[in-house]
Amino acid sequence: MGLVQLLKSQFLSQLIICYVFLVSGLIVNLLQLCTLPLWLVSKQLARRINIRLGYCISSQMVAALEWWSGTECTLYTDPKSYPLYGNENAIVVLNHSFEIDFLCGWTFCERFGVLGSSKVLAKKELSYVPVIGWMWYFLEIVFCKRKWEEDRRTVAQSLQNLRDYPENYWFLLYCEGTRLTPKKHQISMQVAESKGLPKLKYHLLPRTKGFWVTVQNLRGAAAAVYDSTLNFRNNEMPTLLGILNGKKYHADLYVRYKEMFCYDNFNNITLSVFWCNLLYLRDLTSPLTCRRIPLELIPEDEAECAAWLHKLYQEKDSFQEHYTQTGRFPGPIVSPPRRPWALINWLFWCCLLLYLLGLLLTQLISSGSMLTILASLAFCSTVSLGVRWMIGQTEIDRGSSYGNKEVPLNNN
Ligand SMILES: CC/C=C\C/C=C\C/C=C\C/C=C\C/C=C\C/C=C\CCC(=O)SCCNC(=O)CCNC(=O)[C@H](O)C(C)(C)COP(=O)(O)OP(=O)(O)OC[C@H]1O[C@@H](n2cnc3c(N)ncnc32)[C@H](O)[C@@H]1OP(=O)(O)O
Ligand SMILES: CCCCCCCCCCCCCCCCCC(=O)OC[C@@H](O)COP(=O)(O)O
C-alpha cells in the first residue's frame, strides 16, 4: 500500500472529509434559508442562486468519487446524441442496484454541467436527512410517499412547478422504486408472473405510475428520455464507505440510442421518428435512427405507457446480460472527462473550515478547561455518529421494507 493510499484509509482523514462536508453543508443550508424572501421577489433568481448553492454540496460528494477515490466513469452512447446531453431537459431512467448509483449519476451530471439543477423523484424520508435532504427542498426535488393515492396529486403538482425551471436539468427516475435485494427481486418476479409479464434477471419489476405521471407532466418541457443502465467492473458492489476509504471503482454507464421503436407500427412510428430527428437532431441523413428517446414516442395512455416501460426494462435486462457475458455495453465509448470545479469547490471549503477548526482547537487547548475539552469531544462524537447515520441512508442492508411484502399471486 502506497503512502497516499495509507493516508486515505486513515480514520482521521475520513473524519476531516466528513467534518468539512457536514459543516459546509449546514452553512449552505443556512444560506439557502436566507434566499426564502427572494422567492417572493424573483423566483427565477432565487432558483439560480439555489442551483449554485446546491452545487457546493453535491459536488463535494462528486469530488470524493472522482478525485479522492479516483473512480473512473465510462459512458457508452451515441456520439451524435452526445452534444445534446446537458443542453436539454431530459428524464433519466436508471437501474437501482448499487449503493452509489446516485453518486455516479451525479458525476455524469457534473460532467455535462447540470449537477446543481438535477432532479429526482425521491422517497419522502430522504427530505429529512440534514444537508442533502434540506438542500433538496430548495432545489424543488419531487418527493413521494410511495403511496399512489397520496402521490398522484402532489407529484404531479411538483412536476408542473418544474415546467418553467430556468436552467437545464435531468430528472432521475428509479422506476424500480427501491434497491435490488434477492428477496425484493423474488417478490417482484411473483408480481411479474401474476401480471403475465416476462421475468427480469437483473432488475425489479418497474413501477409504472411515477414514470407515466412524470412523462405526462413534463411533455413539452423535457425533450427526451435517457434510458441509462449502470454496472461496475469485476462484479464489484461499491459503497460510500469504500469511496471514503479511497477505494477506486470502475463504473460503466450505457445510454441507449437504438432505432428500437420502428418495428411495431411501422408507418406511424417511422414518421414520428422522422419528425423527431427533424425537431431535435436536425439530421435527416438517417431518418430511421432514433437516438436518445424523444418524449413524443412515449404513449400518452396510462396502460400503453406502462406496457412501454415494461418493454424498456426487458431490454435493459438484455443490456445487463450483454454486460455480464462480454464485460462491456454495446456501442462506442464517449466518456466526458472530469472537470476541475468539483475539486476546486472542495479545496475551498477544506481550507476555510480547517483554518477555522485550527483556530478553535488552539483556543480550546489554551483555555485549559477540562469541561470545555470534554464537551468538545462529546460534540465531535455526536457529529461522527450523525454522519455515520447519513451514510447508512445509502446502505442497502439498512434499506426500507418497500417491495418486501408478499402479494397475492392472482393480483392482476
Ligand atoms: C448522459 C448521462 C445519463 C444519465 C446519467 C444518470 C443519472 C443522473 C441524473 C440525475 C441525477 C439526479 C439526482 C440523483 C441524486 C440522488 C438520488 C437519490 C435517491 C433518490 C431515489 C429514491 O428515493 S427511489 C424511491 C422513490 N422513487 C420511486 O419510487 C419512483 C418509482 N415509483 C413509482 O413510480 C411508484 O409508482 C409511485 C412512487 C409513484 C407510487 O408507488 P405505489 O407503491 O403507491 O404505487 P405502485 O403503482 O408503484 O404500486 C402498485 C402497483 O405495483 C404493483 N406491485 C406490487 N408489488 C410490487 C412489486 N414488489 N414490484 C413491482 N410491482 C409491484 C401492484 O400490482 C400495482 O400494480 P398496478 O398494475 O396496479 O400498477
Ligand atoms: C465529501 C464526501 C462526504 C461523504 C460523507 C458524508 C455522507 C453523507 C451522505 C449523504 C446521504 C444522503 C444520500 C441520499 C441518497 C440516497 C440514495 C438512495 O439510494 O436512496 C434509497 C432509495 O432510492 C430507495 O430506498 P430503499 O427503498 O431501497 O430503502
Dihedral sign for Cα 269, 275, 279, 282, please: positive
State how far the Cα of 313 lies from the Cα of 374, in Å rounded to an integer.
Answer: 55
* Closest listed residue to residue 176, CA positions, set 160, 187, 161: 187
Tell how far the Cα of 208 is from the centroid of ligand 1, in angstroms: 7
- Does 57 have pLDDT greater than 60? yes
Instruction: Output the residue whose Cα is nearest ligand 1's atom 6.
Output: 105
pLDDT over threshold 70, residue 265: no
Rg of the chain in Å (alpha carbons):
23
Residue that wins the pLDDT comparison between 368 and 13: 13
Q: How far is the CA of 354 from the centre of ligand 1 (A)?
A: 40
* pLDDT confidence of residue 71: 97
Q: CA end-to-end span of the chain, whole Å?
A: 56
Q: What is the pTM of this model?
A: 0.92
d(CA 151, ligand 1 centre) in Å: 11
The residues that bridge with 121 in the sheet, in sequence order, are: 142
- What's the fold here for domain 15-257+292-347? Glycerol-3-phosphate (1)-acyltransferase (3.40.1130)
Rounded to the nearest angstrom, the distance between the alpha carbon of 380 and the centre of ligand 2 is 22
Q: Provide the pLDDT confidence category of residue 199 given band limits of 50, 70 and 90.
A: very high
pLDDT bracket for residue 258 (50, 70, 90): low
pLDDT of residue 409: 61
pLDDT at position 376 = 85
- Answer for the pair 131, 390: CB distance below 8 angstroms, yes or no: yes
Break the chain into its structural domains and give their ranges.
15-257+292-347
User: pLDDT, tens digit, for every residue of 318-366?
Assistant: 999 999 999 999 989 998 999 999 999 999 999 999 999 999 889 888 8
**What was the ipTM of the complex prediction?**
0.96
> How high is the pLDDT of residue 267?
41
Dist CA 59 CA 84 (whole Å): 22
What's the mean pLDDT in 40-68? Answer: 98
126 CB near ligand 2 (under 6 Å): yes
pLDDT at 286: 44
pLDDT of residue 410: 57
Q: What is the mean pLDDT of residues 188-193?
A: 97
pLDDT for residue 289? 55
Round the average pLDDT of the chain to a whole number and report it.
Answer: 91
The closest-lying atom of ligand 2 relative to the alpha carbon of residue 132 is 12
Q: Is residue 296 predicted with pLDDT exceeding 70? A: yes
| CA-based nearest residue to 221, from 348, 91, 311 | 91
Cβ contact 29:74 at 8 Å: no
**Ligand 1, atom 60: closest residue by C-alpha:** 188
Mean pLDDT of 174-197: 97
In this predicted structure, the answer to whether residue 31 has a pLDDT above a threshold of 80 is yes
**What does the alpha-carbon distance between residue 196 and residue 264 come to, in Å, rounded to a whole number?**
20
266 vs 148, more confident = 148
pLDDT at 357: 92
State the distance from the centre of ligand 1 to the C-alpha of 136, rounded, in angstroms: 18
Helix-helix angle 341-367:370-392, to 10 degrees = 150
Residue 1 has pLDDT above 90, yes or no: no
Whether the predicted pLDDT of 283 surpasses 50 = no
pLDDT tens per residue across span 376-395: 888 888 888 999 999 999 99
Q: Would the pLDDT of 264 be above 80?
A: no
Task: Taking residues 220-235, report their average pLDDT.
Answer: 97
Judge if the beta carbon of residue 403 lies within 6 A of ligand 1. yes
Q: What percent of the chain has pLDDT over 90?
A: 78
Helix and strand numbers (H, E) in the chain are: 14, 8
* Ligand 1 neighbourhood includes 285 CB (under 6 angstroms): no
Residue 102 in contact with ligand 2 by CB distance below 6 A: yes
Which residues lie across from 224 on neighbouring strands? 90, 294
Strand partners, 333: 76
What is the spatial distance between Cα 226 and Cα 61, in angstroms, rounded to a whole number? 23
For the Cβ of 313 lying below 6 angstroms from any atom of ligand 1, the answer is no
pLDDT digits (tens, 9 = 90+) for 111-146: 999 999 999 999 999 999 999 999 999 999 999 999
The pLDDT score that the predictor gives to residue 98 is: 98
- The answer to whether the CB of 85 is under 6 A from ligand 1 is yes
Best substitution site from 61, 102, 109, 209 to test ligand 1's pocket, by max atoms within 8 Å of Cβ?
A: 209
% of the chain exceeding 70 in pLDDT? 91
CA angle centred on 356, ends 351 and 358, rounded to 5°? 95
Residue 269 confidence (pLDDT): 43
Q: Which tens digits make up the pLDDT trace of 71-91?
A: 999 999 998 889 999 999 999
CB 133 within 8 A of CB 127: yes
